[in-house]
A = this chain, B = another copy of it.
Amino acid sequence: MQKPSIPKGTRDFIPEEAIKRNYIFDTIKSVFVNYGYEPIETPALENLSTLLGKYGDEGDKLLFKVLNSGDFVSKVDDALYAEKNSVKLSTAISEKGLRYDLTVPFARFVVQNFNKINFPFKRYQIQPVWRADRPQKGRYREFFQCDVDVVGSNSLLNEVELVQIIDEVFQKLEIRTVIKLNNRKILAGIAEYIGQKDKIIDITVAIDKLDKIGNEAVNKELSERGLADSEIDALQPVLHLSGSNTDKLADLKKVLANSEVGLEGIAEIEVIFDFLAELSFESKVELDLTLARGLNYYTGAIIEVKALDVQIGSICGGGRYDDLTGVFGKKDLSGVGVSFGADRIYDVLNQQNNFPEKTMQTTQAMIVNFGDTEVKYALKVAFELRQAGIKTEIYPDSTKMKKQMTYADKKNIPFVILIGENEMNENKISVKNMLSGEQDMMLVEDFIKKIH
């Protein structure tokens, strides 16, 4: 006998949790579909050649590798085997791995299925991914990503649409958010402006912390990262841009007047804000020049969403990558998309205690089991109720009434139906309202009307 357990960083979901998660997935999906996005699925197992080298050295280490089948070790070269080196050995005994995100498999999918795809291709994908990360609060080794992307269109209208989608998702989920926008080209322009084109990553990593550690500490970090005092001084106006999005952009345009790439980024973001101005949003949509997310990856827009009422990392993010599929042999196919973090959204909704009651309800009516004769009658009643769309169960065992009622109570079933001799004679059912405790005898069709 063994004590049951699951690998660390993985989770079981009991019904209550699974139902809540499905509510999040279904809500997100319903918005994607409303905007014309279509689902795809890719296998959990990818060839390691597809995954390796796509997520940096650190990412390579976090890939879950799957052992080759059969007598895998006999195929390993003796000299290599003798080295007893984990990295080399793993290459020799493992060809497949679990997907690490949905973006790389999507790029692979687009190239592999190129002739079956209608471009611009608007797809969504909601599937689990795996990372051999050190598990900690809110970080799992197996978790879901909900990605929505357009590939094969350079239009900034796609960015606008993503902001609409984000706003609609969080409106439906009743989560108050701020949607932050930036553009990789603006960050490049800022680096160019202070004369440190190659230090773009150092600069953005530092200014990314402005909110957390304050201005002085950021300046200190910039200095440590090798910026001269004059360069740090030059950066200050950028750090302290304020006012509306329009104000910030106007000021920034002056600062970056000599940076071609910077002006390009500003122009892009102006187009986006120009379109956004035609619509109204529940979320605050703002330009955030300190937003540097996924810097090595994105080439244009950068998007990130924060919940306003709960302290938690970003709950959605993404951006544009101009050469999504290049590594798989299709050049110049631009993609833009965002990924919703289902686990964090779950935590936010749980903290706000904001799952709709209707979502949480499963069985609507349970028929008490008084024995075979009554069950035969109950089978027909249950059939009628289910036909009418009322989720119904018959308690399977003819056990003590109290046990059956406890079951109904624990499952939050709102109506319990009692069928005895009286009910059968009168062709009726007795319905007990579990909330009020009231009990009435009625026709099945009257109960159906009552529920509807």
Taking Cβ atoms with an 8 Å cutoff, the residues of A that contact B are: 1-7, 10-15, 18-19, 21-22, 33-36, 38-47, 49-50, 61-62, 64-67, 69-74, 76, 81, 84-86, 89-90, 93-96, 98, 108-109, 111-113, 116-120, 122-123, 128, 130, 132, 141-142, 150, 153-155, 157-158, 160-161, 164, 275, 278-279, 327-329, 362-363, 366, 369, 372, 375-376, 379-380, 383, 386, 389, 391-398, 407, 410-411
**Contact present for B2 and A327 (CB under 8 Å):** yes
The 4 closest A-B pairs by CB, nearest first: A36-B393, A10-B43, A15-B38, A36-B363
Q: If the complex has contacts A19-B38, A64-B66, A362-B33, are A128 and B44 also in contact, measured as CB distance less than 8 A?
A: yes
Which residues of the partner chain B approach A62 to less than 8 Å between Cβ atoms?
Answer: 69
Q: If the complex has contacts A39-B18, A94-B67, are A158 and B396 also in contact, measured as CB distance less than 8 A?
A: yes
Which residues of the partner chain B approach A10 to less than 8 Å between Cβ atoms?
Answer: 43-45
CB distance from A297 to the nearest CB of B (A): 19
A39 partner, pick from B19, B130, B392, beta carbons under 8 A: B19
**Contact present for B6 and A43 (CB under 8 Å):** yes
A157 partner, pick from B18, B130, B327, B396, beta carbons under 8 A: B396
Which residues of the partner chain B approach A33 to less than 8 Å between Cβ atoms?
Answer: 362, 391
CB distance from A279 to the nearest CB of B (A): 6
**Contact present for B396 and A11 (CB under 8 Å):** no
CB distance from A148 to the nearest CB of B (A): 13
A36 partner, pick from B5, B41, B154, B366, beta carbons under 8 A: B366
Complex CA distance for A109 and B5, rounded to whole angstroms: 9
For this complex, 8 residue pairs linking A to B, each with C-beta atoms less than 8 Å apart, are A12-B112, A34-B389, A66-B98, A72-B86, A118-B411, A120-B396, A164-B383, A279-B383
A66 partner, pick from B35, B66, B69, B366, beta carbons under 8 A: B66
Which residues of the partner chain B approach A116 to less than 8 Å between Cβ atoms?
Answer: 14
Complex CA distance for A7 and B44, rounded to whole angstroms: 10
**Contact present for B40 and A142 (CB under 8 Å):** no
CB distance from A275 to the nearest CB of B (A): 7
**Contact present for B275 and A362 (CB under 8 Å):** no
A47 partner, pick from B5, B44, B372, beta carbons under 8 A: B5
A90 partner, pick from B22, B67, B86, beta carbons under 8 A: B67
Which residues of the partner chain B approach A113 to less than 8 Å between Cβ atoms?
Answer: 12, 14
Complex CA distance for A15 and B64, rounded to whole angstroms: 27
CB distance from A273 to the nearest CB of B (A): 13
Which residues of the partner chain B approach A108 to less than 8 Å between Cβ atoms?
Answer: 4, 6
**Contact present for A22 and B3 (CB under 8 Å):** no
Which residues of the partner chain B approach A396 to less than 8 Å between Cβ atoms?
Answer: 120, 150, 153, 155, 157-158, 161
CB distance from A108 to the nearest CB of B (A): 4
**Contact present for B391 and A46 (CB under 8 Å):** no
**Contact present for B89 and A278 (CB under 8 Å):** no
CB distance from A318 to the nearest CB of B (A): 16
Q: Which residue of chain B is the closest to A140 with respect to CB atoms?
A: B43
**Contact present for A275 and B375 (CB under 8 Å):** yes
Complex CA distance for A394 and B5, rounded to whole angstroms: 49
Q: If the complex has contacts A153-B396, A391-B36, are A14 and B117 also in contact, measured as CB distance less than 8 A?
A: yes
User: Which one of A73, A160, A369 has the greatest number of beta carbons of chain B within 10 Å?
Assistant: A73
Which residues of the partner chain B approach A14 to less than 8 Å between Cβ atoms?
Answer: 40, 113, 116-117
Which residues of the partner chain B approach A275 to less than 8 Å between Cβ atoms?
Answer: 372, 375-376, 379
Q: Which residue of chain B is the closest to A409 with respect to CB atoms?
A: B118
**Contact present for A67 and B70 (CB under 8 Å):** no
**Contact present for A36 and B392 (CB under 8 Å):** yes
**Contact present for B4 and A329 (CB under 8 Å):** yes
User: Which one of A122, A383, A386, A396 has the greatest number of beta carbons of chain B within 10 Å?
Assistant: A396
Which residues of the partner chain B approach A128 to less than 8 Å between Cβ atoms?
Answer: 44
**Contact present for B72 and A1 (CB under 8 Å):** no
Q: Which residue of chain B is the closest to A42 with respect to CB atoms?
A: B12
Q: If the complex has contacts A157-B396, A391-B33, are A7 and B132 also in contact, measured as CB distance less than 8 A?
A: no
**Contact present for B40 and A118 (CB under 8 Å):** no
Which residues of the partner chain B approach A161 to less than 8 Å between Cβ atoms?
Answer: 394, 396
User: Which one of A49, A113, A157, A363 has the greatest number of beta carbons of chain B within 10 Å?
Assistant: A157
Complex CA distance for A119 and B15, rounded to whole angstroms: 13
**Contact present for B12 and A397 (CB under 8 Å):** no
Q: If the complex has contacts A44-B44, A393-B35, are A69 and B132 also in contact, measured as CB distance less than 8 A?
A: yes
